[in-house]
Amino acid sequence: MNEKILQGKKRGMPMLILFAGLYILAIIGLVFSVILGYILFPTVFVIWLAIGWFPMLGLKVLKPQEALVLTLFGKYYGTLKGEGFYYVNPFCVSVNPAAQTKLSQSGDIETKKSLESLSKGTASREIANIDFNNKKVSLKIMTLNNSVQKINDCLGNPVEIGIAVIWKVTDTAKAVFNVDNYKEYLSLQCDSALRNIVRIYPYDVAPNVDTTGDGHADEGSLRGSSEIVAERIKNEIQNKVNDAGIEVIEARITYLAYAKEIAAVMLQRQQASAVVDARAMIVEGAVGMVEMALEKLNENEVVQLDEERKAAMVSNLMVVLCGNHDVQPVVNSGSLY
C-alpha cells in the first residue's frame, strides 16, 4: 500500500468559525422562537444544538513533523502531513497501532515512566500528561537503543553487544497497514540483524577467518572494524524494514565486551599476548645490540676473545639487556682467564 497525501484540507479555521456561528445562531433562534411562540423552528434549533458537535470531529490539528493516517469505513482515506489546522470528513478515523507502544527510544522515555507510575496507581496527576487518544505518527528522527544482547562470535566466544539505531518513518501507510506494530517490528529486526552480523566476526583479529565472504582470510573483527560492522548491521536492518516504511539513517555500536563468564580469562589472554609481543621486541633489540658490540670490539681490536669467551659475553649481555631488574655490576680486577 502506497501513501496518499491529502491536499487542500487546511480549512480548519474557517470551518470552526462556521460551526461556532451556526451554534450562536441556533441559540439566538431558539430564544426568539420561544418568545414569539413558534413551534417548528425551536425543534430544528434544538436538533442542531444536539448533533451540531458531530461535524466538528473532522477538525484536526497537526504539529511540525507529525502525520495522521485516516480510514473511512475501513478503507484507507489518506494521510495528513505537515503542521496546520485541517478539516476532513468527520466519519474518518485515525489509525496508528503503535501509538501506545513505548520503547527505549527518544520521545517515549517520559511517557513510559508516566505509564509505569499509572499502572501502580501512585501518580494520578500524570494522567494529564498522557494523551491516550493520540493516533498521530511521528515523522521525527528517533533513536532506538535496544538492550544489550549476549551473542556468540564466529569463534564461539560469548560477546555482549548493544547498538543504537537512528531511524524515521518515511511512508506512513506502509508503517500503519503493512505491519502490525512498526515500533515492535523495528526492534525485533534490530535484534535479528545484530545476531546475523555479529556471528560472522571474531571479537579480536583471528587467523583463518573470512568475514567478507570472498573466500580469503582477513583481519576483520568486532573491536577493530566497528565502522564496517555497524554499516553492515544498518544495511541488514534496512533490507528488513523497507516494507514497513521505515528508513534507517545510522546504526552504531554502543557497548562491546566479552561476556562476564569469560571476561577474566580473555583479559589474561590479552595480557599474555601483550607480554609475549613485548618480550619478542626486547629480545630482537638485545640481539642487535650484542651483534653490534661484538662487531665494534673486533673492528677496533680492543680485545681478542675466543669462542668460549664470546659465548659467555653474549650470555651476560643478553641477561643484562633482557632482565626486568637493574643489574648489579661485578668488577673483575684479575685475569680475564
The C-alpha cell that represents 247 in the structure block: 528508513
Total count of domains within the chain = 4
Same domain membership, residue 155 and residue 107: no
The mean pLDDT value for 46-63 works out to 86
Same domain membership, residue 85 and residue 57: yes
Query: What's the chain's Rg over C-alpha atoms?
Result: 38
Per-residue confidence band for 124, with pLDDT thresholds at 50, 70 and 90: very low
Boundary residue ending a domain (223, 243, 258): 258
Boundary residue ending a domain (239, 258, 277): 258
62: which strand partners?
84
The answer as to whether 272 is a domain residue is yes
How many Å apart are CA 122 and CA 117, to the nearest integer?
6
The C-alpha cell that represents 231 in the structure block: 554499516
CA 76 remoteness from chain centre: 31
How many Å apart are CA 165 and CA 251, to the nearest integer?
4
Residue 111 and residue 101 in contact, taking contact as beta carbons nearer than 8 Å: no
336 vs 216, higher pLDDT:
216
Q: What is the pLDDT of residues 236-252, one digit of tens each?
A: 999 999 999 999 999 99
Boundary residue ending a domain (133, 152, 184): 133
Q: Model pTM?
A: 0.70
Same domain membership, residue 252 and residue 159: yes
Same domain membership, residue 254 and residue 198: yes
Three-state SS at 210: coil
Same domain membership, residue 207 and residue 158: yes
Q: What is the pLDDT of residues 171-211, one digit of tens each?
A: 999 999 999 899 999 999 999 999 999 999 988 888 888 88
How many Å apart are CA 58 and CA 87, to the nearest integer?
5
- Write down how long the chain is: 337
Q: What is the pLDDT of residues 294-329, one digit of tens each?
A: 777 777 766 666 677 777 777 777 777 676 666 666
Helical segments of 257-303, H only: 260-300
Q: pLDDT above 70 covers what percent of the chain? A: 80
Confidence (pLDDT) at 325: 63
The answer as to whether 1 is a domain residue is no
Q: Which of 292, 199, 307, 245 is nearest to 98 (CA)?
A: 245
Its domain, for residue 106, covers 100-133
Q: Which of 87, 92, 24, 89 is nearest to 52 (CA)?
A: 24
Sequence-separated (6 or more) residues with CB below 8 Å from residue 186: 144, 165, 167, 237, 241, 244, 246
Task: For the chain, give the mean pLDDT.
Answer: 80
**CA contacts within 13 A on the Cβ side of 278:** 9
The mean pLDDT value for 123-127 works out to 38
The answer as to whether 5 is a domain residue is no
Least confident of 50-59, 168-177, 269-278: 269-278
The answer as to whether 223 is a domain residue is yes
Confidence (pLDDT) at 133: 59
19 vs 106, higher pLDDT:
19
